[in-house]
Amino acid sequence: MTAKRDYYEVLGVSKTTPINEIKTQYRKLALKFHPDRNKTKEAAEHFKEISEAYAVISDPEKRKIYDQHGHAGVDGRYSTDDIFQGASANFSDIFGRSGGGFDSIFESIFGRGGGFGAQQSRGSDLLYETSITLEEVLSGKKMEIELKKNIECNVCNGSGCKPGTNPNTCTSCNGQGQVRKTRSMGFASFVTVEPCSSCRGQGSIITDPCKECKGSGKKKGIKKLDFEIPPGVDNGDYTIPNEGDEIPGGQNGDLIVRIRILPHQNFKRDRADIFYDQDVSMIDAALGKEVTVPLLDGNEKIKIESGSQPNTIIKLKGKGLPHLNSRGRGDQYIRVVVNIPKKLSKHQKNMLEEIQNSFE
């Protein structure tokens, strides 16, 4: 058995490195040696090593013990399981939502139930793409869609068994669905609980499968779904939890609604604000004029002031799009585009020259 390396050395940091830098460093290393990315056995070992180091260093109490008494202090006080269990919050902080990808990495390395809660099978996420107009962004849009997806088999109610029959209890695990194994890691040994391989964690084996779903308990079906796209959305993906594929005995996947905002003939958009170009003749710009501009909902008379310069911006407060997560609406901006005539009759030319002379 080789001696354990210093935790700070393992992470490539020093005792005085600020904790947020240690976190960044750990994340970098963890991604590099992540078992999903790096399949070598050394990588898995190294991943365990850096994760253990980070679990201790990121926990103020364990870090204090380590700083004072070294590995002997920590190992004498905590099992490997304890080290990771207490730190799971730190890890989910780093790797996003708790119960997400990182927990399952630990499960694959340490075995199911290695301190991170039992793994649950989960249906696939589904993608639904839709395009909406700016007017619909203003009002929000009620959607009624039909999703083709895996749903529970209606013949066996998801059990996978031919109706009237029951699954047999798995003899390898006595119906527990899991088997206990003791393994040693470094100085510590701990017990892990792993899914039974005979029944793939189900605790039972189907001997007489349902004909409709061939024992899978699910089948392709159509589910009607109503939901509302809220006012103010932008291009992007929005998640509706639990509306993805269904999986018997597991958690549903999510439905990802991918929204694309269609281009608008009048308006350009920047978040909650919209932009509109109003053409005016150079005469109107000089003399002033009342014009009617379109809004997303209706229209409004505005005054082009006499002497308006090209690209003057007029703001209509609160006439933009709703803010997605707060009250109120953005603004509509009107840009005055001054049109200079490209062709003039002889008569018009003479008159303009006359005007020009009057300025001198």
* 213: amino acid identity, one letter: C
Q: CB-wise, 131 or 197, nearer to Zn ion?
A: 197
Smallest distance from Zn ion to CB 252, Å: 17
Q: CB-wise, 30 or 199, nearer to Zn ion?
A: 199
Residues ≥6 apart with Cβ < 8 Å to 202: 167, 170, 177, 249
Query: What angle (nearest 5°) sits at the alpha carbon of residue 276, between those of residues 272 and 277?
Result: 155
Q: CB-wise, 248 or 330, nearer to Zn ion?
A: 248
Smallest distance from Zn ion to CB 111, Å: 15
Point out which residues bind Zn ion (CB under 5 A): 153, 155-156, 170, 172-173, 196, 198-199, 210, 212-213
How far apart CA 76 and CA 188 sit, in angstroms, is 9
How far apart CA 111 and CA 51 sit, in angstroms, is 15
Element (H, E) at 189: strand 188-195
Q: CB-wise, 217 or 320, nearer to Zn ion?
A: 217
Q: CB-wise, 158 or 330, nearer to Zn ion?
A: 158
Smallest distance from Zn ion to CB 164, Å: 12
Burial of residue 63 (number of CB atoms within 10 Å: 0-12, 13-18, 19+)? middle
Q: CB-wise, 5 or 214, nearer to Zn ion?
A: 214
Smallest distance from Zn ion to CB 210, Å: 3
Smallest distance from Zn ion to CB 50, Å: 34
Angular region, 232: left φ>0, alpha ψ -120 to 50, beta rest: left
Q: CB-wise, 213 or 255, nearer to Zn ion?
A: 213
**Residue located via tokens 């609604």:** 257
Handedness of CA 252, 258, 259, 262 (dihedral sign): negative
Altogether, the residues listed in the chain come to a count of: 360
Smallest distance from Zn ion to CB 169, Å: 8
How far apart CA 7 and CA 84 sit, in angstroms, is 14
Smallest distance from Zn ion to CB 221, Å: 12
